[in-house]
Amino acid sequence: MESQPSRQTETHYDIVIVGAGPVGLMLSTCLARWGYKIKHIDNRAEPTPTGRADGIQPRSLDLLRNMGLKSAIMAHKPARVYEVAFWDPPKSGEGIVRTGTWASCPNFIDARYPFTTLLHQGLIERVFIADLKKNGVEIQRPWTIKGFTSDEKADPEYPVTVDLEHVDGTAKETIRAKYLFGGEGGKSFVRDQLKIEVKHKDPISYVWGVMDGVVKTDFPDIKMKCTIHSQHGSIMVIPREDNMVRLYIQIASSTDPDFHPRKTATTEEVQASAKRILAPYSIEWERVEWYSVYPIGQGISDKYTLDHRVFLGGDACHTHSPKAGQGMNTAFLDAQNLAWKIHAVEAGFASRDILKTYEPERKDVAETLLSFDNKYAKLFSQKPDASTVKSATSGQQSAEENEFIKTFKEACEFTSGYGVFYKANALNWSPEHPAQSHVVHPTSTRLVPGRLFINADVTRVVDANVVHLEQEIPLNGSFRLFIFAGKPSVTAQALKDLAINMSRKGSFYQAYTRPDVDTVSYHERYNPHSLFYSVCTVFAAPRSSVEISRDLPPLLARYKDNVYADDKWDRRFPDAKAAAHAKMGLDEEKGGVVVVRPDGYVGIVVALEEGSATVDALNQYFGSFCTKKLGGTSAQL
Amino acid sequence: MESQPSRQTETHYDIVIVGAGPVGLMLSTCLARWGYKIKHIDNRAEPTPTGRADGIQPRSLDLLRNMGLKSAIMAHKPARVYEVAFWDPPKSGEGIVRTGTWASCPNFIDARYPFTTLLHQGLIERVFIADLKKNGVEIQRPWTIKGFTSDEKADPEYPVTVDLEHVDGTAKETIRAKYLFGGEGGKSFVRDQLKIEVKHKDPISYVWGVMDGVVKTDFPDIKMKCTIHSQHGSIMVIPREDNMVRLYIQIASSTDPDFHPRKTATTEEVQASAKRILAPYSIEWERVEWYSVYPIGQGISDKYTLDHRVFLGGDACHTHSPKAGQGMNTAFLDAQNLAWKIHAVEAGFASRDILKTYEPERKDVAETLLSFDNKYAKLFSQKPDASTVKSATSGQQSAEENEFIKTFKEACEFTSGYGVFYKANALNWSPEHPAQSHVVHPTSTRLVPGRLFINADVTRVVDANVVHLEQEIPLNGSFRLFIFAGKPSVTAQALKDLAINMSRKGSFYQAYTRPDVDTVSYHERYNPHSLFYSVCTVFAAPRSSVEISRDLPPLLARYKDNVYADDKWDRRFPDAKAAAHAKMGLDEEKGGVVVVRPDGYVGIVVALEEGSATVDALNQYFGSFCTKKLGGTSAQL
C-alpha cells in the first residue's frame, strides 16, 4: 500500500514541538537522533536573522561537544569572554576608570572551556537545523499552533490532538501526538491555553535597549565583557564575532517616577547616551546590525506541565535580564532534561513517573537563576574593589572569605553551568532513596548525586589517545556506568562478580537487554548489550600495563573501546597516582562505580565490592524508577 | 570591452600548477589567498577516491591550523596515533607478543598535538579544494601538461609557456606564466622534460602491498600503529577513520634471490599472509576499501629547479617508504616554502635570489628524510627492548643515553615535523650572516635561526583570551615580528626607540609601507602598515597590569589585538615568572625581538636595546635579501 499510507502515519507523531528557538531545537535534535517522529513548527519564516540571545556558557559548550555540535559552532569564530571588567566614575573628576576585572569562569571551577562563547543566535540555530536535517526532520515554517487538547483516557497512546495552521491561514493540519511541547518564548500560546500563570519574582521591571554593531573606539576593553557605570547612566558591553559588539543600555526602570513599560529610545538616542557614558573615550558606529528595545520582568511559570503530556520549556517558563547570559543555556538544559526522560519512558525503560521530575528539577534551577539574576544586578552595582575580586578569582581558599566572595563564587559556578544541580529524587540518590546498603555512596567520594560528573583526563587503552572521560559517551540517551576499577590486582574478583551479577536474570542490566543483542555489529561501541546503558571502565594503572582481555571479564571487555588508564597528571591533584580516581574521591586501589544520568548528572555512587552487594545496590537504584522489578532470583543468563 | 577580454587576461597567469595532490594544493591554496592568478590542472577526473598517503604529523597540524584548515580536517574524525607498539616472536614458542610501545611524539617535544592524524587523502584534498573555491580557483580536470618552455630573455615577465591538454585530447590551451610548478608525483613529466635525474639513495628497493579495510579481530592493538615481526613475515598496522585499518605488507625486497620489481600478490594472498603473521590472534575482513601493490625505492631529484621559474616539489622530488608517514607532510612544507618566497619576490619585497634558497632548504630536508627512512627501517628491525624505549620516551635526560635513544629522539623530532630545520643562509641568521652587531643573537636565547619558533601560551590583553602565541599570526605571507617586551617599566625607552627607528625613512619597516596605508580599515589586525610584516608584542607582566596605550608607542599600539601578557604557567618552566620569555631564553626584564619567517621558522633574534642598535640589526638582516637598501639616513617618517 505504498501509494496510500495509512492515516496513522500521516497524522500521528511522537511529539509536536512549537517554536524553533534554542529550547525547541535542542529537544527536537535529541529526539530525532533517538528515532522519534517529530512535527516541529515555527511561526517565523526563517531562523533568527540577527540579534537575540548569544551567550553559550562553559558547561553548555561541554554539552554541545557531547552532541558533536561544538566544532560547527566554533567554526563561526565566536568571541570568547574570559574576563569581565568593571568601569566606574573616578574618585575625583569626570569620566570613567577601570576599577577591576574578574574571570568569568575562575580557576576554582574545573571547566574544560573557561570562557563564555558569544555568537549570533541564528548561527547557533542553523547548526541544530543542519543536524535535524540529517535525521530527516525539517522545521515547518511559518506555521503556528491554533489549539490543542490532551485526553489520555480517550487515547492512551496518542492523547494529544494539535491544530496547526500556516500563518497566512492557507493550510491547516490536525496532528495526533504522544506529547506537545511549547517552546515559543515569553508569549507562549501553549502556556496561555493551559491557563498557567507567570509569577513575577520582583515587582521591578525594566526596559532595555540592545544594539549589535561594529564600532570604532579607543575604549580599551571593547573586546571584554564590561559593566560601565557613569554619571550619565550605565551600559553593558558584550563582544561578538566579526568585530561586532553588543551594548545593553537600561532605558527605564519601574522604579523611575515616570516609568512606562512601553518607553522607548531611538538608535541615535542610545548612541548619544553611550557616547556620554564612555567619555573620555570616543565611540563611533560603522554599522548597526540590530537594535531593539524591550521590557524585561523576572517571571516564572507556575507549572511546566499539567498532565505530563503537554510541556513547556525555555523562555515560556522563565524570563529574566540578559545580564548573566543565561537564557539560551537554561533553555538547552530544559530541553535536554525533558528529552532523555521522554526517551526513557517511550523506549520502555523508565516508568512514566519520571516525567514528573522534569518540572521540579528545572523549575528549581529557574528559581535559582532568578535569584542570581537579582543578586548579580546588585553585585554589578556594588563596585567591588579590585583586591577583593582578585582574591575571589585566584581560587585560593582563605579564612577571611566574605559574603561577597561567597556570593561571587556561587554566582560564577552557577552561571558557568557547572553549579546547576538537581535535588534528591528517584534519579538523584540521597539518604532517603530506596537504595540503601553499606556500599551506597562511599564517604570519601567527591561526587554528589544531582550534580555534574567531574571532568577528568584519562588514556584510552586501545589507542593510547588522551581523552576527556566525561565526553567518552555521547549524548545517546543511555545511562552511563563509570566503573572506576582501581588496581587490577586488587579488584579482579570484584570485577568478575560485578559482571556475573550484571548478567543475572532480572538485574538492572540484563533486564533491559537489546532484543537484537545477538546480531549487534562488532563495531557497536556504546550499546552492544542494552540501549539504556553505556559502560566505561577506568583502571588506576599505566596504560601499557592494562590488558583488556586479561583484566576484565568478557561482559565489560566487550566495551573495549571504553577502557581507560587513569595515568594522566592533573594539576589539581598533582600528587595523586591516579588523578581521575582522586578527583572523584574514589579509592585508588579499590575504585567504585558511578552511575551518570544520560544528561551527565550523577545518579548514584556505589563501592566496588566482591560479592553481589554492588549490583544489588544498582538494582535498588534503577528499580526505583524503571518499569521492571529488578534483582530477586539468582538464575544466570 | 567586457565581451572581448584581452588575450593577456585569458592566457597569462602568475603560475601554472600541475598536479592536485598535497604539494600542488598547498601551493595553490597559499598563493590563491595572497591574490595570485593560478592555472591549476590535474590529470585525474576527481580527487583521490581512496587510499594513498594518510598521515598528518604533529607540526603539520599546526600549519593547517595556521591556515584555518585544521577544524575542517578534524571534522572527519580522523584516527589519532599517540603510541607505536612493537610485536615480535616470543623467546620460546609460536605466535607474537608485544615487546614494547613508544610515544609517536614523546614529551620531550613541545608539541601542541602530540599525535599523528590519520585520514584518507581524498578528504584532506577536498578541504583544500573547498578553500581554493572560496578564492576563485577551480582545479581544471582531467587535464595534462604536454610541454613547456622557459625563456626569461624573450619575456622577462611571463617567461614560461605551457601547453595543456584535456586527457582525451579534445581541448588544448597554451598558457603564459611567471612560474610553472610540477607537483605530479613520482612520475613527473616536468622533471623528465627538464632531464633532472633521480638519484637512488639506497640500492635496495621494495615491493609493498597496502590494504585499507574494516576488520574484525581480537588483536588488541588494532587501533594503534604497530610493527609486527613474526616467523611468517612482517606487517605494519595503521589505524584509520571510520573503524578502518591500513596494513602494509612487504611483498618483496631487492635483496630477495628471486626479486622482481613487478612482483605482486592478490588481496587474498595478502590477507592469508596477514592471518599467519597475526596468529594466534584472528583477523577477518568485513570490507576492503582499497588495495594496491607498488614498488618503492628511495629516490631524490638532483635538482628542484633549473632556472628558478620552473619548480618541482613533493613526490616529484623525493620518494621513500611509507613507514614514517612523511610523504604528505614533506609535500606540504615544500609547497609552503616555495609559496611565501614566490610571494615575497612577486610582491616586490624580496630580491629574486631568495628563490634560490628553495632547493637547498627543501632538498636538505629530503636528504635527512631519506636517511631517517633508512635508520627507521633498521630501528624497526632491531626489536628494542621495552626498558630502553621507556627511558627514551620519558623525556628524562640520563648519562647513559645510548646511540639508540639518540637516534630515536632525533627520529621522533624529525618525523613529528618539529625537528625540520633549515641551514644558514640570508634568511636564517648565522655568525656568517651580514647582520653583525652586539645585539644580534643574545647568548641566552633558546631559539635557533632556521628552526621553528617555540610554542607558548600567553594571554591576549584586549580580550583576556588565552592563546597559542605561535598561532596568533595566520599564514599571511608576512614576516612576523615578536617583540618580547620584558617588564614595561624596564623597556619603556627601548620600545619607544624601536618604534622611532622602525618609522625612520629607509628602515626595514618603513621602506615597505603599504601604498594604501592612509585608508587601511580600523579593523585591519595583521597588516595595518605593511603587507610584509605583522607585529606581536608580549609583556612579561600580568594581563590586568598592561595598558596598551600607555605601555606602547603608537606604532606598536596599532597592533592592539596582538599584544599579550606572558602570565600563563607552563609545566616545562614551572618556576618562571614569564614562561614564554623563559621558553625563548629571553630576559624576563629586558626581552628581545624575534623575527619569524612567514612559514614559522626563526630568522634572527635581536636584543631589545635603547637607541638604534636593534633596528640597525634588523635593517642589516632584511637588507641582506630585500629589494631596497635599508638603514642609512635618519630623516623621520
A81 vs B contacts (CB less than 8 Å): 463-464
Q: Is the pLDDT of residue B637 over 50?
A: no
Predicted local distance difference test score (pLDDT) of residue B250: 80
Q: Tell me the mean pLDDT in the region A164-170.
A: 96
B75 vs A contacts (CB less than 8 Å): 71-72
Residues of B at the A interface, defined by Cβ within 8 angstroms = 71-72, 74-75, 79-83, 101, 115, 214, 216, 218, 220-224, 239, 243, 286, 459, 462-466, 522-523, 543-544, 547-549, 561
CA distance A11 to chain B (A): 37
B282 vs A contacts (CB less than 8 Å): none
Is 3.30.9.10 the CATH classification of the domain at B79-118+203-296? yes
Q: Which three cell numbers stand for residue A557?
A: 571487555
Cell 567527591, residue located: A446
Query: CATH 3.30.9.10 in chain B, residues?
Result: 79-118+203-296
Predicted local distance difference test score (pLDDT) of residue A378: 62
Helices (H), B504-559: 548-551, 554-557
Buried/exposed code over B385-422 (b: 16+ C-beta within 10 A; e: otherwise): eeebbeebbeeeeeeeeeeebebbbebbbbbbbbbbbb
Per-chain mean pLDDT for chain B: 90
Compare CB distances from B220 to A220, A243, A547 and report the shortest one's residue: A547
Best mutation target, A102, A385, A465, to test chain B (most B CBs within 10 A): A465
Strand segments, DSSP code E, in A574-631 are 592-596, 602-606
CA distance B80 to chain A (A): 7
Cis-peptide into A431, omega within 30 deg: no
Of A13-22, A220-229, B425-434, the poorest mean pLDDT is in A220-229
Q: Is the pLDDT of residue A204 over 90?
A: no
Compare CB distances from B101 to A220, A544, A547 and report the shortest one's residue: A544
Listed residue (B586, B612, B602) closest to B430, CA to CA: B602
B239 vs A contacts (CB less than 8 Å): 463
**End-to-end CA separation in angstroms for chain A:** 42
Q: Is the pLDDT of residue A5 over 70?
A: no
Is 3.50.50.60 the CATH classification of the domain at B7-73+119-197+300-364? yes
A522 vs B contacts (CB less than 8 Å): 216, 286
Cβ distance B220 to A79 less than 8 Å, yes or no, reads no
Compare CB distances from B464 to A83, A462, A464 and report the shortest one's residue: A83
Q: Tell me the mean pLDDT in the region B610-636.
A: 87
Q: What DSSP character marks residue B95?
A: S
Q: Which three cell numbers stand for residue B634?
A: 635618519
Compare CB distances from A216 to B224, B522, B544 and report the shortest one's residue: B522
B466 vs A contacts (CB less than 8 Å): 82
Q: Tell me the mean pLDDT in the region A116-120.
A: 93
Q: Is the pLDDT of residue A444 over 80?
A: yes
Q: Tell me the mean pLDDT in the region A162-173.
A: 96
Cβ distance B83 to A214 less than 8 Å, yes or no, reads no
Residue of A nearest to B100 (CA): A544
pLDDT band at B387 (very low <50, low <70, confident <90, very high): very low
Cell 588494532, residue located: B222
Report which secondary-structure segment, H or E, holds B493. Answer: helix B488-503
Q: Which three cell numbers stand for residue A535?
A: 559502560
Compare CB distances from A101 to B83, B101, B544 and report the shortest one's residue: B544
Q: Which residues contact A40 (CB under 8 A, 6 or more apart)?
A: A16, A17, A20, A24, A28, A132, A137, A138, A139, A140
Buried/exposed code over B252-280 (b: 16+ C-beta within 10 A; e: otherwise): beeeeeeeeeeeebeeeebbebbeebbbe
Predicted local distance difference test score (pLDDT) of residue B376: 67
Q: Tell me the mean pLDDT in the region B217-240.
A: 92
Cβ distance B462 to A221 less than 8 Å, yes or no, reads yes
Contact A613, A437 (CB under 8 A): yes
B220 vs A contacts (CB less than 8 Å): 462, 547-549, 560
pLDDT tens-digit map of A33-62:
999 999 999 999 999 887 776 799 999 999
Residue of B nearest to A220 (CA): B462
Q: Is the pLDDT of residue B377 over 70?
A: no
A223 vs B contacts (CB less than 8 Å): 462-463, 561
Cβ distance A82 to B243 less than 8 Å, yes or no, reads no
Predicted local distance difference test score (pLDDT) of residue A450: 98
Q: What DSSP character marks residue A495?
A: H
Whole-Å CA distances, B502 to B219, B484, B524, B613: 62, 16, 19, 11
Query: CATH 3.40.30.20 in chain B, residues?
Result: 457-623
Pair type for strands A457-460 and B160-166? unpaired
Predicted local distance difference test score (pLDDT) of residue B3: 42
Cβ distance B220 to A462 less than 8 Å, yes or no, reads yes
Residue of B nearest to A548 (CA): B220
Cβ distance B82 to A462 less than 8 Å, yes or no, reads no
Predicted local distance difference test score (pLDDT) of residue B405: 61
Query: CATH 3.50.50.60 in chain B, residues?
Result: 7-73+119-197+300-364
Whole-Å CA distances, A502 to A39, A480, A515, A596: 38, 14, 17, 17
Phi, psi of B623 (to 5 degrees): -60, -20
A464 vs B contacts (CB less than 8 Å): 81-83, 101, 224
B81 vs A contacts (CB less than 8 Å): 463-464
pLDDT band at A377 (very low <50, low <70, confident <90, very high): low
A462 vs B contacts (CB less than 8 Å): 220-224
Q: Is the pLDDT of residue A634 over 80?
A: no
Compare CB distances from B82 to A83, A221, A466 and report the shortest one's residue: A466
Q: How many pairs of residues across A and B have Cβ atoms under 8 Å apart?
A: 73
pLDDT band at A395 (very low <50, low <70, confident <90, very high): very low
Q: Is A399 exposed, middle or buried (0-12, 13-18, 19+ CB in 10 A)?
A: exposed
C-beta neighbour count of B186 within 10 angstroms: 16
Cβ distance B79 to A463 less than 8 Å, yes or no, reads yes
Cβ distance A243 to B216 less than 8 Å, yes or no, reads no
Q: Tell me the mean pLDDT in the region B67-88.
A: 93
> Which residues partner with A604 through β-bridges?
A595
Predicted local distance difference test score (pLDDT) of residue A529: 98
> What DSSP string describes B304-371?
SBSSSSEEE-GGGTEE--STT--HHHHHHHHHHHHHHHHHHHHTTSB-GGGGGGHHHHHHHHHHHHHH
Q: Is the pLDDT of residue A391 over 60?
A: no
pLDDT band at B447 (very low <50, low <70, confident <90, very high): very high
- Homologous superfamily of the A7-74+120-200+300-354 domain (CATH): FAD/NAD(P)-binding domain (3.50.50.60)
Of A247-261, B51-65, B157-171, the poorest mean pLDDT is in A247-261
Choosing among 3.40.30.20, 3.20.20.140, 3.30.1520.10, 3.40.50.1010, the CATH entry for A457-623 is: 3.40.30.20
Q: Is the pLDDT of residue B397 over 80?
A: no
Q: Is A633 exposed, middle or buried (0-12, 13-18, 19+ CB in 10 A)?
A: exposed
Query: CATH 3.50.50.60 in chain A, residues?
Result: 7-74+120-200+300-354
Cβ distance A549 to B218 less than 8 Å, yes or no, reads yes
Residue A315 CA to residue A302 CA, distance in Å, equals 13
Q: Is the pLDDT of residue B401 over 80?
A: no
**pTM of the full structure:** 0.92
Residues across chain B: 637
Predicted local distance difference test score (pLDDT) of residue A398: 43
Contact B487, B540 (CB under 8 A): yes
Q: Is the pLDDT of residue B523 over 70?
A: yes
| Of A76 and A296, the one with more pLDDT | A76
pLDDT tens-digit map of B304-329:
999 999 999 999 999 887 767 788 99
Listed residue (A463, A55, A356) closest to B103, CA to CA: A463
Listed residue (B15, B14, B25, B13) closest to B314, CA to CA: B25
Predicted local distance difference test score (pLDDT) of residue A342: 98
Contact A315, A299 (CB under 8 A): no
Residue B4 CA to residue B176 CA, distance in Å, equals 19
pLDDT tens-digit map of B359-375:
999 999 999 988 888 77
B548 vs A contacts (CB less than 8 Å): 220
Residue A112 CA to residue B7 CA, distance in Å, equals 57
Residue B256 CA to residue A570 CA, distance in Å, equals 52
Residues of A at the B interface, defined by Cβ within 8 angstroms = 71-72, 74-75, 79-83, 101, 115, 214, 216, 218, 220-224, 239, 243, 286, 459, 462-466, 522-523, 544, 547-549, 560-561
Contact A560, B219 (CB under 8 A): no
